[in-house]
Structure 1
Amino acid sequence: MNYPVWELYYFNSGTLVAIIAVFHVFISHFAVGGGIFLWLTDLKSVREGNISLRQYVRKHVWFFLLLTMVFGGVTGVGIWFIIALSSPWATSLLIHTFVFAWAIEWVFFIVEIVSLLIYHYKFETLSDKNRLRIAFIYAASAWLSLFVINGIITFMLTPGQWLRTHSFWDGFFNPTNLPGLVFRTAICIMFAGLFGFVTAVFEKEDKLRQEFLRYCVKWLYIPLPFLIISGLWYFYSIPENARLTNFMLNKQTANAVNVFITASVILYLLSLILVFRASKLLHRIAVFILLLVGLLWMAGFEYMREYARKPYVIYGYMYSPSIMVADEKKLNKEGFLKNAKWTTIREVTEENKLIAGRELFNLQCLSCHTIKGVKNDIVEKTKGLTYLGVISQLYGQGKILDYMPKFIGNETEMKALATFIVSLHGDKETKLTEFKPKKEDIAIPPFDSQKDEYVLLAWSSLGEKCVTDSDKWFSFLYPGSSFQAILIKRGKKPEIISEGVEIHYEVQKGYENPSMHSDFWKYSQSLKGKKIPENVGLTGKALKGVFEYDKDKKIFSAEGIPVLPYRDDGVFNPYPIFEIKAVEKATGKILQTTKFVAPVSTELKCFECHGGKPRWRGISGISDETAINILRVHDRNNGTKLLESALKGKPQMCQKCHEDFIVKSEGVKGHNSFSASMHGWHANYIPWKDERACNLCHPNDAKGNTRCNRDIHAKLGIGCTQCHGKLDEHASSILLSQQGTRTSKLLLRNLKPETLISEITQRKSWIQQPDCLNCHVGFQKPKENVKAFNKWTIDVSELYRNKKDNTGKIPCIACHSSPHATYPSFNEYGKNRDNIQPIQYQRTPMPISSEMKCEVCHRVKMQGNYHHANMIRAFRNKKALPQ
């Protein structure tokens, strides 16, 4: 940020550095190893009196001089030129920190030049003794050049104690200096043999050619064990976080590793051809292929080394865009542009936002990214992201995938950069109008408190059953609502009926054909491992059927009902009505009839970040475009092939890998649970921590198409975070339960919950939830500003939807209704849609038997708090009731 930016959008400066550097390093290692090769080969020719070998050396030295001194020298100057333009601050730092080391290196380099020129031009006139001395001087000075340069290069990856002391010696003799030196020395010797092939294959006499080739092959294989041992030593001398980040998370490193390993195998196997007799042509073809493979091998290694220090140019000291780590807090607080020396814009305004974004891109992104260029094209990388998606990417950048530096600057600057990046796509943001629910009146079933003998209570066990509705591509929530019911025979001492009756259910007209509106049934074989008949759920139940009696829970239950919010007449309504009838088995007599809502939502706002728009008539669901963008991101970040599988007609359930209690999946060992993965990942990226974050994935938005959070709590202003915690708190509580997996640690390390992580109680998703009695202590009115977060139920039996009253017979949910829809509920699709049963039985939308209406079941007034403490009292929030 303290130097001008070299504005290259198609070929960024980093790419140019890589191109020049790979060629130079390839040749420079040969220059070092070749010197040792010349000296020892010449020594061998003298000791053995081998004139042919001496002539081979004579030919080789001319090729060696041209390649190393001319091409090597030019590319060496080219590297200095290109890095000074690409990263001037880091270059300046290296020069000033190691000025005497560079001076010494230049002395060695001059000795190299002089000795090599003498060795070449005086080869025939010098005595054997003096010629070997000159050859040794060249070999020694070349290796000493490597010694000096290696210390400086390894410093960039592992500065070690230098970060604290800024001592020359601490920087030079850093943790990877020695393993790097051994490794590079082995490379030099290997390359000496590799380039020795070039001279050998042009020997005209077959016998000598074969002899020279076999000799050179030894130079290739002798350093191999040193390469392997020192390579491992080198690798494990790198900081653990750098190894994790760049060799496990950075997929570009994986590409470099693959090139390195593949080139290694080809290099050593192909070189065996040169051991055996073959034609000159075959030998020459093999040699030049080997040289190309050797270049790729060197490129693979150098790319791995460069990637290993990401996101820094000097590890832990300076980020790759030439921003000092020590300046990060200041720049985030004061603003990046205000402190940047080479920009005309100091403050972002509405008028200059696009230009400011471009300046920020140049200063923070251009060192690694291009614009529609050959490498790391920012347009391609952000393809499928909306403006909010880019903001989220910038907010989360460098947190989990920390091979990228974090965005540095204030919130206004982040928005400016996002504006510029989105403008490169030329796409307009999807503008959705606020959804307006279509209100529908519900005919309340009749109930005569004097004559009717039975009360039938039925409910959905979830306040909102969510369905992914992107089954062509992936699924994590399939159609399948669960209903429960109890039948009570009224009397002074009411009786719960479990025998001799059947409970029938039937969905309202228009919802009978969900397969017309969803691909779940088409792809059920791939998603769930079995072909499921259309309009039937996983349990075999359809939209009309009979409850089963659950002897353990002592309630009637109907699970896996495949209801969706799409009606055949084109109306979207996430609150379809089911009619329930209690029928006497022996006579077929209808004992009681009621209705209840089966809430079901396909409102997941993935498109807000991942592009596209809602699938079903632009109202709800995940579209093809959105789903494809999500799978691309997952595949890129995790090395999966989910998109490829989906394109072949084999979409996958997310819980195939990620354990999830709600869909009864054990997942794959070592993977985080589905909830931990989803919340943990997105908590690192979503810039909001309040209900806005919740509303992106859950159907609670007051302007959305579902508006799930619709009970008395919501009416009183109690939102998601007061029970479940803010996003970072919520994610942390689940991640802490993952037994310290590598990924859970990655997801946790940058979260900043308001409650200290050390004070957050871990929990298992869907099993441990906030308890109602956290706030309603003793069933009393909650205290001011009380929160339910961080105090969890012990197990599934303690969940609100499974708890029963003091008698152990009546489920709490039977009288108070489903989670997030407890009576009285305020449903914008119809004010009484969620209050049918309390209005049917007691003419008020309040909980069953509230306001001392015990006669609903008992036929007479009761005096005691029989079912739970503090129940015989007036309802506290009458002013909030639906009007």
Structure 2
Amino acid sequence: MNYPVWQLYYLNSGTLIAVIAVLHVFVAHFAVGGGIFLWLTDLKSVREKNYELRQYVRKHIWFFLLLTMVFGGVTGVGIWFIIALSSPWATSVLIHTFVFAWAIEWVFFLVEIVSLLIYHYKFETLSDKNRLRIAFIYAAAAWLSLFIINGIITFMLTPGEWLRSYNFWDGFFNPTNLPGVVFRTAVCIMFAGLFGFITAVSMPQSDFRDKLLRYCAKWLYMPLAFLIISGFWYFYAIPENARLTNFWLNRQTANAVNVFIVSSVLIYLLTLIFIMKTSRKLQQIAVFILVLIGLAWIGGFEYIREYARKPYVIYGYMYSPSVLVTDEERLNKEGFLKYAKWSPIKEVTEKNKLLAGKELFNLQCLSCHTIRGVKNDIVEKTKGLTKLGILSQIYGQGKVRDYMPKFIGTEKEMEALAEFIASLHDKRENKKTDFKPIQEEVSIPSFNSQKDEYVLLAWSTLGEKCITDSDKWFSFLYPGSSFQAVLIKRGLKPEIVSENIEIHYEVQKGYENPSRHSEFWKYSESLKGKKLAENTGVTGKGLSGVFDYDKERNIFSAEGIPVLPYRDDGKFNPYPVFKAKAIHKSTGRILQTTKFVAPVSTELRCFECHSGAPRWNGISGISDNTAKNILRVHDRNNGTKLLENALKGKPVMCQKCHEDFIVKSKGIKRHNSFSASMHGWHANYIPWKDERACNLCHPNDAKGNTRCNRDIHAKIGIGCTRCHGRLDEHASAVLLSQEGTTTAQLLLRNLKPETPISEIKPRAPWIQEPDCLSCHVGFQKPANNVRAFNKWTTDTAGLYRNRKENTEKIPCIACHSSPHAIYPAFNEFGKNRDNIQPMQYQGTPLPISSEMKCEVCHKVKMQGSPHHANMLRAFRNKKALQ
């Protein structure tokens, strides 16, 4: 940020460095190993008095001199030129920190030049003794040059104690110096043999030529053990966090590692051609291929080494965009552009936002990314993301996958960068049809408090059954609502009736054919492992049928009902109404009839970040475009092939890998649960932590197409975070429950919730939820600003939807309704759509029997309140009903 930026948008400076550096390093290692090769081979020719070997050395020197001194020297200068342009600050640090070392290295380099020229031009006139001395001087100077440069290069990866002392020796003799020297020395010796093949194969066919080829092969095999041992030594000398980040999280490293491993195998396999009796032509072809493989080998190694120090250019000291780690906090607070010396823009305004974003891209992104260029194209990388998606990516950059540096700057600067990157894309499809709920009143079933003998209470166990509705591509929530019911025989001592009783259910007209509106049934075999009949749920039940009786809980239950919010008449209503009838099996007499809502939502607003539009008539569901964008991101981040499989007609349930209690999936061991993965990942990326974040995935938005939070809590202003916590708090709780998964720790390490992580209690998703009684202590009025977050139920028995009142007979949900729809509910699709049963049995939308309306079940007023103490007082939020 203190130097001008070299604006290469198509072929960035990092790519140019890689091209020049790999070629130079390839030759530079030969310059060291080849010097040792010349000295020892010349020594061998003298001791054995082998004239042919001496002539080979003479021939090899000219090739060696041209390649190392001419090509190597030019590319060496090229490296200095290119790094000074691309990363001038880091280059300056290296020069000033190791000025003494560079001076020594130049002395050694000068000795190399002089000794090699003498060795070449005086080869025939010098005595054997003096010639070998000159050869040794060159070999020693070349290796010492390697020793000096290795100390500086390894410093960039592992500066060690230098970060605290800034002492030359601490920086030079850093943790990877010694393993680096041993490894590179072994590489030099190996390359000496590899390049020896080049001059050897050009010789005429003879016994000497065959011996020479086998001699060169020995140079490749001799250092193999040192390569392997020092390679592991080098790897484990790297800081553990760097190993984790760059050898596990960074997918690009895997490509370099694969190149390194494959080329290693090929080098040693191809070398066998020169050991065995083969034709001269084959050997010449093989040596050409071998040199290319050797180039790929050193390229793979150098890329691995470069990747290993990301997100830094000098590990722990300077980030790759040339920002000091010590400046990060100040720049985040005061602004990055303010201190960018060469930027004409110092502050982001509405007028200059796009230009400011371009400046930020040049300063923070251009060192690694291009714009429609050959490597790390930012347009391709952000393909399938909206402006909010790009903003989220920038916000989360460097947190989970910290091989990328974090964005440094203020929120306004972050938004400006997102604006600029978004402007590089063509106009995206990211619109939804404006939706306004149409109120549809429900006829309230009749009830005669004097004559009727039974009260039938029925409900949906969830306040909103959510469905992914992208079954062609993936699914994590398939159609399948769960209903429950109890039949109460009225009397002074009411009884729950189950013997000789059947309870039937039937959906309202227009919702009977969900398979017309969803592809779930087409892909059910791939998703659920079995082919389902159309309009039938995974339990075999359809849109009409009979409840099963649950003896253990003493309730009637119907699970897996495949209801959707789409109607055959083209209308969207996420609150279809079911009719329930209690029938005496022996006589066929209808004992009581009621209605209840089966809330169901396909409103997942993934398109807000992942582009696209709602699937069903622009109103709801996940479109093909959005779904494919999501799968591309998952595949890129996790190395999966979900999109490829989906294109072949084989979509999968996310819970195939990720355990999830709600769909009864055990997942794969050591994978995070589905809830931990989803919340943990997005908490690191979504720039909001309040209800806005919740509304991106859950159907809670007051302007959305579902408007799930419709009960008395929402009416008086109690939002999601009061019970479930902010996004980062919620994510932390479920991540803390994951034992033995490395990714949970990765997702946790950058979360900074308002409630310290050390104080957050782990929570098993769907099993441990906020406890109602943590706010309503003793069933009384909650204290002001009390929160239910971090006060979890112990197990499923304590969940609101499973809990029973004090007598352990009537489920709480039977009288108070489903979560997020607690009576009185305020449904914009119909005033009493969620209040049918209280209106039916007592003429008010309040909880069943509230305000001492005991006669609903008891037929008479009761003096006490055996169910719970709160029944004795009047409903306190009557103003909300007005």
Q: Does TM, normalized by the shorter one, top 0.5?
A: yes
Give the corresponding residue for 1:421.
421
Give the corresponding residue for 1:235.
235
Tell me the secondary structure at the aligned position of residue 95 of structure 1: helix
Rounded Cα–Cα distance in structure 2 between residues aligned with 1:534 and 1:414: 48
Q: Is the Cα contact below 8 Å between 1:371 and 1:377 reproduced in 2? A: yes
Deviations 1:732-786 (A, max 9, x none): 0110111252101100000011011111111100000011100000000001111
Rounded Cα–Cα distance in structure 1 between residues aligned with 2:43 and 2:437: 92
Deviations 1:519-570 (A, max 9, x none): 1111111111111111000000000100010011110000000000000110
Rounded Cα–Cα distance in structure 2 between residues aligned with 1:748 and 1:106: 48
Rounded Cα–Cα distance in structure 2 between residues aligned with 1:205 and 1:250: 49
Give the corresponding residue for 1:22.
22
What amino acid is aligned across from residue 561 of structure 1 in structure 2? I
Deviations 1:343-401 (A, max 9, x none): 11111111111111101000000000000000000000000000000110010000000
Report how far residue 205 of structure 1 moved. 3.1
Report how far residue 279 of structure 1 moved. 1.6
The answer to whether the aligner puts 1:454 opposite 2:454 as a matched pair is: yes
Rounded Cα–Cα distance in structure 2 between residues aligned with 1:626 and 1:434: 19
Give the corresponding residue for 2:542.
542
Give the corresponding residue for 2:864.
864
Give the corresponding residue for 1:576.
576
Tell me the secondary structure at the aligned position of residue 618 of structure 1: coil
Give the corresponding residue for 1:802.
802
Report how far residue 727 of structure 1 moved. 0.7
Q: How does 1:812-851 map to 2 (within 5 A)?
A: 812-851=812-851
Report how far residue 870 of structure 1 moved. 2.4
Give the corresponding residue for 1:194.
194
Deviations 1:625-684 (A, max 9, x none): 111010010111111111111111100110001000000000000001000000000000
Q: Is the Cα contact below 8 Å between 1:434 and 1:703 reproduced in 2? A: no
Give the corresponding residue for 2:774.
774
Q: Is the Cα contact below 8 Å between 2:387 and 2:422 reproduced in 1? A: yes
Q: How does 1:434-453 map to 2 (within 5 A)?
A: 434-453=434-453
Q: Is the Cα contact below 8 Å between 1:386 and 1:429 reproduced in 2? A: no
Tell me the secondary structure at the aligned position of residue 595 of structure 1: strand
Q: Is the Cα contact below 8 Å between 2:331 and 2:408 reproduced in 1? A: yes
Q: How does 1:333-372 map to 2 (within 5 A)?
A: 333-372=333-372
What amino acid is aligned across from residue 736 of structure 2 in structure 1? L
Q: Once superposed, which parts of structure 1, at least 4 consecutive aligned residues long, lie more than 4 Å away?
A: none
Give the corresponding residue for 1:514.
514
Give the corresponding residue for 1:395.
395
Rounded Cα–Cα distance in structure 2 between residues aligned with 1:74 and 1:214: 32
Rounded Cα–Cα distance in structure 1 between residues aligned with 2:170 and 2:847: 73
Q: Is the Cα contact below 8 Å between 2:826 and 2:832 reproduced in 1? A: yes
Rounded Cα–Cα distance in structure 2 between residues aligned with 1:771 and 1:334: 42
Give the corresponding residue for 1:758.
758
Give the corresponding residue for 1:203.
203
Rounded Cα–Cα distance in structure 2 between residues aligned with 1:180 and 1:474: 47
Report how far residue 206 of structure 1 moved. 2.6
Q: How does 1:49-128 map to 2 (within 5 A)?
A: 49-128=49-128
Tell me the secondary structure at the aligned position of residue 801 of structure 1: coil
Give the corresponding residue for 2:146.
146
Rounded Cα–Cα distance in structure 2 between residues aligned with 1:270 and 1:533: 59
Moved more, 739-748 or 359-368: 739-748
Report how far residue 282 of structure 1 moved. 0.5
What amino acid is aligned across from residue 498 of structure 2 in structure 1? S
The answer to whether the aligner puts 1:293 opposite 2:283 as a matched pair is: no
Cα RMSD for the two superposed structures: 0.7
Rounded Cα–Cα distance in structure 1 between residues aligned with 2:770 and 2:181: 58
What amino acid is aligned across from residue 607 of structure 1 in structure 2? F
Q: Is the Cα contact below 8 Å between 1:387 and 1:429 reproduced in 2? A: no
Report how far residue 433 of structure 1 moved. 5.5
What amino acid is aligned across from residue 117 of structure 2 in structure 1? L
Rounded Cα–Cα distance in structure 2 between residues aligned with 1:706 and 1:164: 56
Q: Is the Cα contact below 8 Å between 1:670 and 1:741 reproduced in 2? A: yes
The answer to whether the aligner puts 1:310 opposite 2:333 as a matched pair is: no
Rounded Cα–Cα distance in structure 2 between residues aligned with 1:421 and 1:791: 42
Identity score, percent? 81
Deviations 1:253-287 (A, max 9, x none): 01100110111111110111111122211110000
Q: Is the Cα contact below 8 Å between 2:205 and 2:280 reproduced in 1? A: no
Give the corresponding residue for 1:707.
707
What amino acid is aligned across from residue 758 of structure 1 in structure 2? S
Cα distance change, pair 101–209 in 1 and its aligned pair in 2 (3 A): same
Rounded Cα–Cα distance in structure 1 between residues aligned with 2:105 and 2:779: 80
Tell me the secondary structure at the aligned position of residue 78 of structure 1: helix
Q: Is the Cα contact below 8 Å between 2:670 and 2:740 reproduced in 1? A: no
Rounded Cα–Cα distance in structure 2 between residues aligned with 1:775 and 1:808: 21
Rounded Cα–Cα distance in structure 2 between residues aligned with 1:452 and 1:61: 111
Report how far residue 851 of structure 1 moved. 1.1
Tell me the secondary structure at the aligned position of residue 789 of structure 2: coil
Deviations 1:196-239 (A, max 9, x none): 00010011133222111100000000101100000000000000
What amino acid is aligned across from residue 42 of structure 1 in structure 2? D
Give the corresponding residue for 2:745.
745
Report how far residue 430 of structure 1 moved. 2.4
Q: How does 1:659-698 map to 2 (within 5 A)?
A: 659-698=659-698
Report how far residue 429 of structure 1 moved. 6.4
Rounded Cα–Cα distance in structure 2 between residues aligned with 1:438 and 1:224: 76
Tell me the secondary structure at the aligned position of residue 271 of structure 2: helix
Q: Is the Cα contact below 8 Å between 1:613 and 1:622 reproduced in 2? A: yes
Give the corresponding residue for 2:736.
736
Deviations 1:576-626 (A, max 9, x none): 000000011011111110000000000001000000010001000001111
Rounded Cα–Cα distance in structure 1 between residues aligned with 2:568 and 2:240: 58
Rounded Cα–Cα distance in structure 2 between residues aligned with 1:420 and 1:208: 66
Report how far residue 435 of structure 1 moved. 2.1
Q: How does 1:620-659 map to 2 (within 5 A)?
A: 620-659=620-659
Report how far residue 428 of structure 1 moved. 4.4
Report how far residue 806 of structure 1 moved. 1.1
Unaligned runs of 5+ in 1: none
Rounded Cα–Cα distance in structure 2 between residues aligned with 1:490 and 1:171: 86
Rounded Cα–Cα distance in structure 1 between residues aligned with 2:814 and 2:426: 54
Give the corresponding residue for 1:373.
373
Rounded Cα–Cα distance in structure 2 between residues aligned with 1:652 and 1:604: 18
Rounded Cα–Cα distance in structure 2 between residues aligned with 1:626 and 1:432: 13
TM-score of the superposed pair, with normalisation by structure 2:
1.00
TM-score of the superposed pair, with normalisation by structure 1:
0.99
Give the corresponding residue for 1:498.
498
Q: Is the Cα contact below 8 Å between 2:431 and 2:612 reproduced in 1? A: no
Aligned residues: 882
Q: How does 1:217-296 map to 2 (within 5 A)?
A: 217-296=217-296
Q: Is the Cα contact below 8 Å between 2:432 and 2:614 reproduced in 1? A: no
Rounded Cα–Cα distance in structure 1 between residues aligned with 2:388 and 2:575: 30
Report how far residue 873 of structure 1 moved. 1.6
Rounded Cα–Cα distance in structure 2 between residues aligned with 1:300 and 1:505: 65
Deviations 1:278-307 (A, max 9, x none): 221111000010000000000000000000
What amino acid is aligned across from residue 240 of structure 2 in structure 1? E
Report how far residue 868 of structure 1 moved. 1.1
Rounded Cα–Cα distance in structure 2 between residues aligned with 1:473 and 1:295: 41
